[in-house]
Structure 1
Amino acid sequence: MSDADRHRLITDLLKEQPFASVRDLQEYLGVSAATVRRDIDKLHEIGKARKVYGGISASEGAGAGRIAARPYNENRDIAVEAKRAIAEAAAALVRDGDSIIVHAGSTCFQLGLLLARRNVRIYTNSMPLAAHLGEHGTCQLTVAGGELYREPRIIHDPSAGLPSFFASRFFVGTQGISSEGLLESHPLLSKVIAELSTRTDEIVVLADSRKLSIQARHIVLPLSRIGTVITDDGLADADAKMLENAGVTIIVANASGQGG
């Protein structure tokens, strides 16, 4: 298969999904990781796609479009090392005695793992995180009440109104980030994030850098409501400038060389 053929297949794939990991492309193309990385570098260089930590994403305007959210189990295994590095940076913001909200999602789950045995009070609507903290944690835990929505793995009662819990920080993931704000495709996640945002002093977004190239259906929160974004070192200069211009503090977690 020629370079041009591989590049065409990769760009066609990115019209159907916003991100492909190096491993995804190895299996898809039947080539080595080194070949995949050269293809990624070339497509990034010519502007056909965007090189991000762990793989490649559709470039802005390249057909990424408005997409549906990935299933939790699928999203959990993407950019894992970047998510762990972001979670470590987020955990460093938490002090003993803090009351915080940790939202559902795979990066927030990584944060919860780090806080499990800390002297903190955690409110979460994440079924996987609540189960882990209940079995392995010593932190004070408050779990959202209501029904279990197996996708996207959250517990929610639509008739309950706002929770009584109030937090110094709300740690939340997102499907995408644009100049308009945080983006989500799942209507329930959009509703819950908006509700929980009223129960905190500061919103801290945990988002690996590929999220800044993903567009989704709903604007959940404007950037003016976001205090801090913690991301990885794949953050593009243009995206960093966009966040800074909106008054958002950026923390870059060093995930380079950690695998993936």
Structure 2
Amino acid sequence: MSDLDRHRIITDLLRERPFASVRDLQEHLGVSAATIRRDIDKLHDTGRVRKVYGGISAHDGQVTDRLSARPYDENRDIAVEAKRAIALKASALIRDGDSVIVHAGSTCYQLGIEIARRNVRLYTNSMPLAAYLGEHGTCHVTVAGGELYREPGIIHDPNSGGPNFFASRFFVGTQGISSDGLLESHPLLIKAITELASCSDEIVLLADSRKLSIHPRNVVLPLSRIGTIVIDDGLSDAGAKMLEDAGVTVLIANTGGFN
């Protein structure tokens, strides 16, 4: 297969999904990781796609909310090292004795692992995180009540109007980020985030840099509501300026380079 054939297949693939990892492309094309990385570099240099941590993404505005929505069990295996680095950086914001809310989602799950044995009070609506903390954690855990929604991996009561819990920080992930704010397409996540946002002193966004390329149609929270974002070192200068202009404190988690 020629370079041109592989490049066509890769760009066609990104019309069907917002992100493809190096491993995804290896399996799809049957070539080595080194070949995939060279292809990614060439496509990035020509402006046809955007190189991000762990793989390649469509450019801003090329992804619809239908394509960017992924079940939790698929999303958890994407950009894992970046998410772990973000979680480690975010854990330094938490002091012993704090009360925190950790939202559902794969990056927030990694934060929960980091603080599982810390002296904190933790509220979560994440079914996978609650299960992990029940088996491995020693922190004080409060789990959201309600029904289990397996695809996004959350527990939610649509009639509760939010928990009776107040925290110093609400750690939240997002499906996408734009100058308008945090973006989501799943209606249940929109409702859950909106409710939890009123239950803390500060909102801390945990997001890998791919999220600036994903633009679902629904704004959940404006950037003005976000106190801090913890993001990997794949953040572009333009993305950093957008966040800083909105008054968001940007903390960079070092991932050790592009993989």
Q: TM-score range by the shorter chain?
A: over 0.9
Identical-residue share of aligned pairs (%): 76
Give ranges in structure 1 of 5+ residues lacking alignment.
none
- Find the counterpart in structure 2 of residue 91 from structure 1: 91
- Stretches of structure 2 that go unaligned for 5 or more consecutive residues are none
Kindly provide the amino acid, as one letter, of the partner of residue 186 in structure 1.
Answer: H
Superposition map of 1:1-150 within 5 A? 1-61=1-61, 63-67=62-66, 68-150=68-150
Q: Where do 1:169-184 residues align within 5 Å? A: 169-184=169-184
The AA in structure 2 aligned to 1:234 is: G
- How many positions carry a matched residue from both structures? 258
- After TM superposition, the runs of 4+ consecutive aligned structure 1 residues lying more than 6 A away are none
- Matched residue, 1:216: 216
DSSP-derived class of the 2:14 partner: helix
Q: Structure 2: which amino acid aligns with 1:83?
A: K
In 1, the alpha carbon distance for the partners of 2:199 and 2:241 equals: 29
Residues 24-53 of structure 1 show CA distances to partners (whole Å, capped at 9, x for unaligned) of 111111111111101111111111000000
- State the 1:5 CA deviation: 1.3
State whether residues 60 and 212 of structure 2, in contact with CA within 8 Å, keep that contact through their aligned partners in structure 1. Answer: no
Q: Residue by residue, what CA displacement relative to the aligned partner does 1:85-129 show, whole Å, maximum 9, x if unpaired?
A: 000001000000000000001111110011111000000000111
Match of 2:188 in 1: 188
1:113-152: CA deviations, max 9, x gaps? 1111100000000011111111211111111111111111
**Normalising to structure 2: TM-score of the pair?**
0.97
Distance 2:195 2:161 in 1: 8
Partner of 2:254: 254
RMSD (CA atoms):
1.1
1:201-251 Cα distance to aligned partner (Å, 9 max, x none):
111011000011001131100000001111111111111111011111111
Q: Secondary structure at the match of 1:216?
A: coil
| Amino acid corresponding to residue 128 of structure 1 in structure 2 | P
- Paired with 2:12 and 2:227, the residues of 1 have a C-alpha distance of 36
Q: 1:148-167 to 2 correspondence within 5 Å? A: 148-167=148-167
2:198 is aligned with what amino acid? T
2-side partners of 1:147 and 1:66: how far apart?
25
Equivalent position amino acid for 1:120 in 2: V
